[in-house]
Amino acid sequence: MDWKVLLNNKWIALLLLAITFALIYNPFTKFPYTFCIIIAVILLFTYLQDKNLKSLNFKKIGFSEIKIIIICYLTLELSMDFIFQPLVSRIFNEPADYSSFKILEGNPKMYLKWLFNMWISAAIGEELLFRGFAFSQLKRVFGEKKILLVVLSAILFSLPHLYQGISGLVMTFLFGLTFGFIYLKFKNIWINIIIHGLIDTVFLTLSYYGLTDFYSGFNIIF
């Protein structure tokens, strides 16, 4: 039996994605160890399928990529914070629920711990799962339907954020769409990882200073 052919079957690819996604909800590990396991599983499944990790798009970061990262980060941060976040809060008549991050306020030890964990789990783990691996597996299922890949990966990305309420869910979906288009455009997972990490670093820093109301404070614009 040709195991490589079998593992690249569209139904097997879908199963591998489902298994990896389900690990988020496994009862045996907690944040950030859950995503450490997910990263390892992604690397294993990808290698078993392709005998290499090329489909995850680990590419070099040079000066041109740094410029792309800066431009994409600033555009995404400013547009989400000043336009889409207050607009979504206005539409659903509620801000995103970030109360679970209150524990960071004024706690430097907790802040630094969460910052480190975030870069491992959210920046690296989520981008590998919801962009690198999800795109690779969904492409095996649906082919070169690029918009569909972006939308489906954004839906998967938003689901684990249900605890943030409907506004938080919608905002995560919008972030997922944007991350998806960035990955589709540049095909370099490190670009996604760094942009994602920078955005979450700002969020955790605002949480540390007790300023998460910033994300709902611009409703006056509308």
pLDDT value of residue 61: 96
Confidence label for 116 from pLDDT (cuts 50, 70 and 90): very high
Confidence label for 22 from pLDDT (cuts 50, 70 and 90): very high
Confidence label for 4 from pLDDT (cuts 50, 70 and 90): low
| Residue range 203-208: mean pLDDT, rounded | 92
As a dihedral over the C-alpha atoms of residue 207, residue 114, residue 38, residue 138, rounded to 10 degrees, the angle is 20
pTM over 0.95: no
pLDDT value of residue 86: 85
Distance CA 214, CA 155 (A): 25
Distance CA 59, CA 109 (A): 33
Confidence label for 217 from pLDDT (cuts 50, 70 and 90): low
Write the DSSP string, 120-134. Answer: IIIIIIIHIIIIIIH
